Amino acid sequence: MSNVLAAETAAAPAAQTLSRGGSHKRNKRSTSVALAMLAPAAVLMVVFLIIPIFLTFGLAFTNARLISPVPARFIGFDNFVRLFGNDTFWRSLLNTVVFTIVIVPVQSGLALGLALLVNAKIRGTNFFRTVYFLPVVTSIVVVSMLWLFMYQPDGLINALLAKIGITGPDWLGDPNTALFAIIVLSIWQAVGFHMVIWLSGLQTIPGELYEAASIDGAGTWQQFVHVTWPGLRQTSIFILITITIAAFSLFSQVNIMTQGGPLNSTSTLVYMAVHSGFEQQQTGYAAAISLVFFALVLAVSLVQRYLTRDKESSR
């Protein structure tokens, strides 16, 4: 390694002439090596990612079942007709959208607050960052079980509320509070992740900007508005997109804590897709639900495209 490094400067011109001289031969060989190195990942991605994406579109228009002796048959829009006539679907879509609309601003806002709180390089900062990040490395399955207990009618949260004289509801058993309860634990689990991403964004802002702003007499809030926030634009787009797509994918919490209940008040698109496609083995119907999900994701990525283009043109 080290002798390669040492040879680097001396050999560079020689390498250039060499590659110019035998470029045709070398390129041909290079291409085959490149394809060989690319092949394992390429094959795996085609088989387990690209084909399933196309399958989602194909299967949605068939009556395919997970295990069936008869081959799947093309049935046109029947799955969609059935889906759009199903109240559970609309409720699941609504829940997914409500969950996302609440989670996106609240979680990204809290994460930014945490990031600002632990951005200063003073003693103990590392400790606080570590503690806030602990739920992120805890599996959502474990977190859901833990909060399932905390949300019991006689569980930890109601015991704490009783201390201050409030009689807490049956959080997960009441259709009015169940989705809210799931939102709270989801934020608790994931907010540390986005705190770290905000932090890495904050560190890209040059300190001189703050010095210049404070010389100009800008207060803390003005500094935030005129220096910090504009400097976080890239980061904020990334965070919005990742939180949105993660929120669309809500499944584990629901499956463990409420099974979509009570009265479908916590059912989501992914939960419904798993219920139809796995438990009821109706792959075609589940593919139709997945396609709706896919359309949501696509819409979000188009918004991202628009936002990033906007940034480039304004420069």
**Subset of 124-143 contacting another protein (CB under 8 A):** 124, 126, 128-142
Q: Quick one: 84 or 127, whose CB is closer to another protein?
A: 127
Q: Which stretch binds another protein (CB under 8 A): 82-90, 94-102, 144-152, 175-183?
A: 144-152
Q: Quick one: 163 or 315, whose CB is closer to another protein?
A: 163
Q: Which stretch binds another protein (CB under 8 A): 76-84, 85-93, 99-107, 185-193?
A: 185-193
Is residue 237 involved in binding another protein (CB under 8 A)? yes
**Subset of 250-279 contacting another protein (CB under 8 A):** 251-252, 255-256, 270, 273-274, 277-278
Residue 108 burial (CB count, 10 A): 21
Is residue 70 involved in binding another protein (CB under 8 A)? no
Is residue 66 involved in binding another protein (CB under 8 A)? yes
Q: Quick one: 47 or 166, whose CB is closer to another protein?
A: 47
**Subset of 291-310 contacting another protein (CB under 8 A):** 293-294, 297, 300-301, 304, 308
Q: Work out the end-to-end distance of the chain between its first and last CA atoms, rounded to an integer number of angstroms.
A: 42
Is residue 7 involved in binding another protein (CB under 8 A)? yes
Q: Which residue in the set 214, 226, 262, 303 belongs to the binding site for another protein (CB under 8 A)?
A: 214
Whole-angstrom distance, CA of residue 80 vs CA of residue 282: 13
Is residue 18 involved in binding another protein (CB under 8 A)? yes
Is residue 182 involved in binding another protein (CB under 8 A)? no
Q: Quick one: 88 or 304, whose CB is closer to another protein?
A: 304
